[in-house]
Structure 1
Amino acid sequence: MIDEVVMLRHGRTPYNLQHRLQGQIDVPLDIVGQWQADQSGYALAGRFYWAKVSRLAANPGLIAQPPADAAKRTDLSQYAEAPAARRRMVVISSDLYRAQQTAHAFADLLGLEVICDARLRERSFGQWEGLTREQIKTIDAEAYASWKRHTGGETRYGVESRAHVGERGAKAVRELIAEYADDTPTTMMLVGHGSWITATVANLLELNPDGMNALGGMRNACWCRLKVRHTLNGQPAEQPLFELEEYNTAPAIAGSADWENGPADLRGPNMPGWRPIVW
């Protein structure tokens, strides 16, 4: 049974650096994005270390043993009896490569499988995919302004509406929860995209997806966390209920390092600096 959902946005890509709309174009992480994914992966692997213990308890043959002439063997019962053995972690990623890279930066540390699922794909930006904001304004300033105001002018260019992104995202989350409806308490890590995460969380919390102040955007390689409840007043709920516990959380290093640009020793002479988005 899924009782916790974590949603992690992918690290920086070249399109993010250039402020190009990626949508469903398959763009990999750049060097700074890989660093961001790794830093978040380290932080989350530390928090969810129990998931490694859970995996080893379920697969005791993977637990390292000393040579036969050692004084003691590794005590497998410690893993089987640990409270962690009674939980499970599943990692599910958008099938776009930048999300897969970010998922593996976390999952590989704990020895967990990454399951790819196209239902977690980013919002489609239609004819605007690959364009910068300046290019979009040149093409249709009115539609751009409407997009900025959350009044839907972008949809005339085949851009998926925020409401639709939230609906398909929430549907995917509920379907995945139903797929793990056994008795094992489970944390589900979903690795995907900023617009998808924001719209999906808004839908799950029954917020207006076009509300200007409902939820802010997600930074690269940051995460949110939702508690999932399956009962209401002691009775089974008709569908899962969600409570937002964290939103747009970054690892501790983001507070002391230049998160958007990465460490100086990663930035070559031809790499431009990241600039805040100016609408």
Structure 2
Amino acid sequence: MIDEVLFLRHGRTAYNLARRLQGQIDIPLDIVGRWQADQSAYELAKTYYWAKVAHLAEHNDQLAQPAYGNAHLADVDEINNAPAAARRMLVVSSDLFRAQQTAHAFADLMGLDVELDPRLRERSFGEWEGMTREEICEHYADDYHSWRAHTGGETKHGVESRIHTGRRGAEAVRDIVAKHHDETMPTTLLLVGHGSWIVATVAVLLDMDPDDLNNVGAMRNAFWTRMTPHTDPRNADRPTWKLEEFNQGPAIASFADWENGPESLRAPGMPLWKPIIQ
């Protein structure tokens, strides 16, 4: 059974840096995004190191052993009998490459597989995909301001509504949880996706309106959110959800320039990420 769900947003891309709406355009992480994904992966690996042990307990054949004669072999029983072997972690990612890269930054450290699920894709931004906010405002001022005010003007341009995005995400989460409901092993589910998708999905799972301006807020690149499902035996197919952590990141993000990365990664003339000024 799945008793913990982590939502991890992908790292920075060139479109994030340029403030272009990505939506479902398939663009990879940039150099800073790969650094962000790695830093979050290292941090999560500290907390969830048990998942590496649990995976080896399930797959003893993947334990590295000396290949020459007369060498002492690692004791698989110490792995199989460790408390960590009593849990499991599953990693499911959006099939967009930036999410896959972020998922593998963590999963490869732990020896875990990554399952792809297109239901975790970012909110579609229709004909606005690839445009900057300035370009949208210049050509569609009224609809742009309606979008920023959460009154739906963007949907005139083929943009997926927040509520549809959230329901799509919540349905995917509930479906994955339901598939593992009858299993006895406690399981942590790591879902790697996208900012707007995560925020809308979390809102729907909490029975909130994704268009409410006082909603949960935004997600930073390569930050995570943690929720726990609670099943009522009278309604086992539809658990209630508790938000345990929102928009959390690695310790380094509190003292480094998280959005731009360390200076050692910045080539001469590389533009700097700047926050949106309303």
* Number of the residue aligned with 2:130: 130
* Number of the residue aligned with 2:191: 190
* Number of the residue aligned with 2:251: 252
* Number of the residue aligned with 1:7: 7
Q: Structure 1 stretch 196-205 or stretch 55-64: which is displaced more?
A: 55-64
Give, in whole Å, the separation in 1 of the partners of 2:144 and 2:277.
Answer: 13
Quote the offset at 1:158 in angstroms.
0.7
* Number of the residue aligned with 1:264: 263
Unpaired stretches in structure 1, ≥5 consecutive residues: none
* Number of the residue aligned with 1:27: 27
* Number of the residue aligned with 1:154: 154
Quote the offset at 1:80 in angstroms.
1.0
Quote the offset at 1:278 in angstroms.
2.7
- Over aligned residues, Cα RMSD in angstroms? 1.2
Matches within 5 A, 1:174-213: 174-181=174-181, 182-213=183-214
Same amino acid, percent of matched pairs: 61
Quote the offset at 1:236 in angstroms.
5.8
Give, in whole Å, the separation in 1 of the partners of 2:250 and 2:198.
Answer: 18
* Number of the residue aligned with 2:73: 73
Give, in whole Å, the separation in 2 of the partners of 1:236 and 1:79.
Answer: 37
Q: How many residues align?
A: 276
User: TM-score under structure 2 normalisation?
Assistant: 0.96
Unpaired stretches in structure 2, ≥5 consecutive residues: none
- SS state at 1:209 partner: coil
Give, in whole Å, the separation in 1 of the partners of 2:78 and 2:198.
Answer: 38
Cα shift readout 1:155-184 (whole Å, capped 9, x = no counterpart): 011111100000000000011112222111
Quote the offset at 1:237 in angstroms.
3.6
- SS state at 2:241 partner: strand
* Number of the residue aligned with 1:109: 109
Cα shift readout 1:102-129 (whole Å, capped 9, x = no counterpart): 0000000000001111000000000100
* Number of the residue aligned with 2:163: 163
Give, in whole Å, the separation in 2 of the partners of 1:192 and 1:238.
Answer: 24
* Number of the residue aligned with 1:90: 90
Partner amino acid, structure 2, of 1:184: M
2:217 is the counterpart of 1:222 = no
Partner amino acid, structure 1, of 2:130: G
* Number of the residue aligned with 2:238: 239
Give, in whole Å, the separation in 1 of the partners of 2:83 and 2:60.
Answer: 16
- SS state at 2:137 partner: helix
- Verify the 8 A CA contact 2:228 2:244 in the aligned structure 1: yes
Give, in whole Å, the separation in 2 of the partners of 1:106 and 1:224.
Answer: 15
Cα shift readout 1:46-77 (whole Å, capped 9, x = no counterpart): 1110011011111112223345424x532211
Give, in whole Å, the separation in 1 of the partners of 2:130 and 2:140.
Answer: 15
- SS state at 1:239 partner: coil
Matches within 5 A, 1:51-70: 51-66=51-66, 67-70=68-71
Where does structure 1 differ by over 6 angstroms across 4 or more consecutive aligned residues? none
- Verify the 8 A CA contact 2:178 2:237 in the aligned structure 1: no
Quote the offset at 1:217 in angstroms.
0.4
User: TM-score under structure 1 normalisation?
Assistant: 0.96
- Verify the 8 A CA contact 2:195 2:219 in the aligned structure 1: yes
Cα shift readout 1:3-46 (whole Å, capped 9, x = no counterpart): 10000000000000000000000010000000000000111111
Give, in whole Å, the separation in 2 of the partners of 1:238 and 1:47.
Answer: 29
Quote the offset at 1:151 in angstroms.
0.5
2:50 is the counterpart of 1:47 = no
Partner amino acid, structure 2, of 1:210: D
